[in-house]
Amino acid sequence: MGAIKWNEFTVRMDVNAPFDKLYAAWATRAGIESWFLRMSEYASAEGVIRAGDEPVQIGDTYKWLWYGWPDETVEHGTILDCNGADYFKFSFGKAGICTVRIYKAQGETIVELQQEQIPENEEGKYMWHVGCKTGWTYYLTNLKSVYQHGIDLRNKKEGIGKLLNL
Protein backbone atom coordinates (compact mmCIF):
# COMPACT_ATOMS: atom_id res chain seq x y z
CA MET A 1 0.00 0.00 0.00
CA GLY A 2 1.43 3.35 -1.04
CA ALA A 3 1.37 6.72 0.62
CA ILE A 4 -1.95 8.57 0.72
CA LYS A 5 -2.32 11.16 -2.01
CA TRP A 6 -4.03 13.83 0.06
CA ASN A 7 -4.75 16.05 -2.94
CA GLU A 8 -7.10 13.58 -4.62
CA PHE A 9 -9.26 10.49 -4.27
CA THR A 10 -11.60 8.40 -6.41
CA VAL A 11 -14.78 6.59 -5.36
CA ARG A 12 -16.77 4.24 -7.59
CA MET A 13 -20.18 2.60 -7.34
CA ASP A 14 -21.88 0.13 -9.62
CA VAL A 15 -25.40 1.32 -10.38
CA ASN A 16 -27.80 -0.74 -12.45
CA ALA A 17 -29.45 2.11 -14.34
CA PRO A 18 -29.28 3.52 -17.88
CA PHE A 19 -26.52 6.01 -18.70
CA ASP A 20 -29.01 8.76 -19.58
CA LYS A 21 -30.74 8.51 -16.19
CA LEU A 22 -27.41 8.49 -14.33
CA TYR A 23 -26.14 11.48 -16.29
CA ALA A 24 -29.36 13.39 -15.56
CA ALA A 25 -28.89 12.49 -11.88
CA TRP A 26 -25.93 14.89 -11.91
CA ALA A 27 -26.72 17.34 -14.68
CA THR A 28 -30.31 18.35 -13.90
CA ARG A 29 -31.86 19.97 -10.86
CA ALA A 30 -34.52 17.28 -10.53
CA GLY A 31 -31.94 14.53 -10.87
CA ILE A 32 -29.42 15.79 -8.34
CA GLU A 33 -32.13 16.64 -5.82
CA SER A 34 -33.45 13.06 -6.01
CA TRP A 35 -30.41 11.56 -4.27
CA PHE A 36 -27.94 14.27 -3.17
CA LEU A 37 -29.30 17.73 -2.42
CA ARG A 38 -32.17 19.46 -0.69
CA MET A 39 -32.04 22.21 -3.31
CA SER A 40 -30.09 22.71 -6.49
CA GLU A 41 -30.20 25.77 -8.66
CA TYR A 42 -28.39 25.60 -11.99
CA ALA A 43 -28.09 28.87 -13.91
CA SER A 44 -26.84 29.59 -17.41
CA ALA A 45 -23.86 31.87 -17.98
CA GLU A 46 -26.44 34.63 -18.59
CA GLY A 47 -27.98 34.01 -15.15
CA VAL A 48 -31.15 32.27 -16.36
CA ILE A 49 -32.25 29.54 -13.91
CA ARG A 50 -32.57 26.19 -15.67
CA ALA A 51 -35.80 24.19 -15.47
CA GLY A 52 -35.88 21.05 -13.31
CA ASP A 53 -35.19 18.62 -16.15
CA GLU A 54 -33.04 20.93 -18.28
CA PRO A 55 -29.42 19.70 -18.52
CA VAL A 56 -26.59 21.99 -17.51
CA GLN A 57 -24.09 23.38 -19.98
CA ILE A 58 -20.41 24.23 -19.68
CA GLY A 59 -20.07 27.55 -17.85
CA ASP A 60 -23.30 27.20 -15.87
CA THR A 61 -23.15 27.98 -12.18
CA TYR A 62 -24.83 26.22 -9.30
CA LYS A 63 -26.13 26.85 -5.82
CA TRP A 64 -26.51 23.73 -3.63
CA LEU A 65 -28.15 23.17 -0.23
CA TRP A 66 -28.20 19.91 1.78
CA TYR A 67 -30.71 18.32 4.12
CA GLY A 68 -29.64 18.68 7.75
CA TRP A 69 -27.81 21.94 7.14
CA PRO A 70 -29.12 25.51 7.37
CA ASP A 71 -29.37 27.70 4.28
CA GLU A 72 -26.13 29.41 5.34
CA THR A 73 -24.32 26.16 4.46
CA VAL A 74 -24.38 26.69 0.72
CA GLU A 75 -22.01 25.66 -2.04
CA HIS A 76 -21.54 27.72 -5.18
CA GLY A 77 -19.58 26.49 -8.16
CA THR A 78 -19.25 26.22 -11.90
CA ILE A 79 -19.81 23.43 -14.40
CA LEU A 80 -16.36 23.16 -15.95
CA ASP A 81 -17.10 20.48 -18.54
CA CYS A 82 -19.87 18.09 -19.52
CA ASN A 83 -20.82 16.08 -22.59
CA GLY A 84 -24.52 15.31 -22.17
CA ALA A 85 -23.89 11.58 -21.86
CA ASP A 86 -21.29 10.27 -19.43
CA TYR A 87 -18.92 13.03 -18.25
CA PHE A 88 -19.60 15.86 -15.77
CA LYS A 89 -16.97 18.12 -14.18
CA PHE A 90 -17.53 20.88 -11.63
CA SER A 91 -15.67 23.12 -9.20
CA PHE A 92 -16.38 22.23 -5.57
CA GLY A 93 -15.48 25.31 -3.56
CA LYS A 94 -12.25 25.11 -1.55
CA ALA A 95 -12.42 21.31 -1.80
CA GLY A 96 -11.15 21.18 -5.39
CA ILE A 97 -12.58 19.88 -8.63
CA CYS A 98 -14.85 16.87 -9.09
CA THR A 99 -15.13 14.79 -12.24
CA VAL A 100 -17.88 12.23 -12.72
CA ARG A 101 -17.56 9.49 -15.31
CA ILE A 102 -20.17 6.87 -16.18
CA TYR A 103 -18.86 3.77 -17.95
CA LYS A 104 -19.17 0.01 -18.35
CA ALA A 105 -16.76 -2.43 -16.69
CA GLN A 106 -17.26 -6.19 -16.83
CA GLY A 107 -20.90 -5.73 -17.76
CA GLU A 108 -21.63 -3.33 -14.88
CA THR A 109 -22.44 0.37 -15.13
CA ILE A 110 -19.99 2.30 -12.97
CA VAL A 111 -20.39 5.82 -11.62
CA GLU A 112 -16.95 7.16 -10.73
CA LEU A 113 -16.23 10.40 -8.94
CA GLN A 114 -12.70 11.79 -8.74
CA GLN A 115 -12.02 14.78 -6.53
CA GLU A 116 -8.67 16.47 -7.12
CA GLN A 117 -6.80 19.67 -6.39
CA ILE A 118 -7.63 19.24 -2.71
CA PRO A 119 -5.39 21.54 -0.64
CA GLU A 120 -2.64 19.54 1.06
CA ASN A 121 -2.83 21.33 4.41
CA GLU A 122 -4.39 19.95 7.62
CA GLU A 123 -7.80 21.44 6.80
CA GLY A 124 -7.67 19.93 3.31
CA LYS A 125 -6.69 16.50 4.61
CA TYR A 126 -9.41 16.37 7.27
CA MET A 127 -12.27 18.38 5.77
CA TRP A 128 -12.00 17.61 2.09
CA HIS A 129 -10.04 14.41 1.66
CA VAL A 130 -11.46 12.43 4.57
CA GLY A 131 -14.72 14.38 4.88
CA CYS A 132 -15.61 14.53 1.20
CA LYS A 133 -14.54 10.94 0.54
CA THR A 134 -16.82 9.79 3.36
CA GLY A 135 -19.64 11.99 2.06
CA TRP A 136 -19.30 10.89 -1.56
CA THR A 137 -19.22 7.24 -0.50
CA TYR A 138 -22.52 7.72 1.32
CA TYR A 139 -24.15 9.70 -1.46
CA LEU A 140 -23.08 7.29 -4.22
CA THR A 141 -24.63 4.54 -2.11
CA ASN A 142 -27.80 6.63 -1.98
CA LEU A 143 -27.64 7.18 -5.75
CA LYS A 144 -27.59 3.41 -6.18
CA SER A 145 -30.44 2.94 -3.69
CA VAL A 146 -32.64 5.57 -5.35
CA TYR A 147 -32.01 4.50 -8.95
CA GLN A 148 -32.12 0.74 -8.37
CA HIS A 149 -34.73 0.44 -5.61
CA GLY A 150 -36.53 3.78 -5.27
CA ILE A 151 -35.43 4.15 -1.64
CA ASP A 152 -33.91 7.45 -0.50
CA LEU A 153 -31.61 6.87 2.48
CA ARG A 154 -31.25 10.53 3.46
CA ASN A 155 -32.67 11.87 6.71
CA LYS A 156 -34.79 14.89 5.80
CA LYS A 157 -35.83 15.93 9.32
CA GLU A 158 -34.27 19.16 10.49
CA GLY A 159 -32.69 19.26 13.92
CA ILE A 160 -31.38 15.71 14.06
CA GLY A 161 -27.61 16.02 13.91
CA LYS A 162 -24.57 13.78 13.70
CA LEU A 163 -26.11 11.34 11.23
CA LEU A 164 -24.21 9.67 8.41
CA ASN A 165 -25.68 11.94 5.74
CA LEU A 166 -24.59 15.06 7.63
Give me the pLDDT at residue 69, please: 86
With 0-12 CB in 10 A as exposed, 13-18 as middle and 19+ as buried, what is 7? middle
Helices (H), the chain: 19-27, 29-33, 122-123, 131-149
pLDDT for the residue 77: 98
Per-residue pLDDT, averaged over 67-85, amounts to 95
pLDDT tens figures, 131-166: 999 999 999 999 999 999 999 999 988 777 777 765
* Residue 93, phi-psi category: left (phi > 0), alpha (psi -120 to 50), beta (remainder): left
What are 17-61's pLDDT values in tens digits?
999 999 999 999 999 999 999 999 999 999 999 999 999 999 999
Does position 89 have pLDDT exceeding 80, yes or no?
yes
Contact by Cβ (8 Å): 29, 55: no
Judge whether residue 1 has pLDDT over 70: no
CATH superfamily membership of 9-149: START domain (3.30.530.20)
Question: pLDDT at position 2, please?
Answer: 81
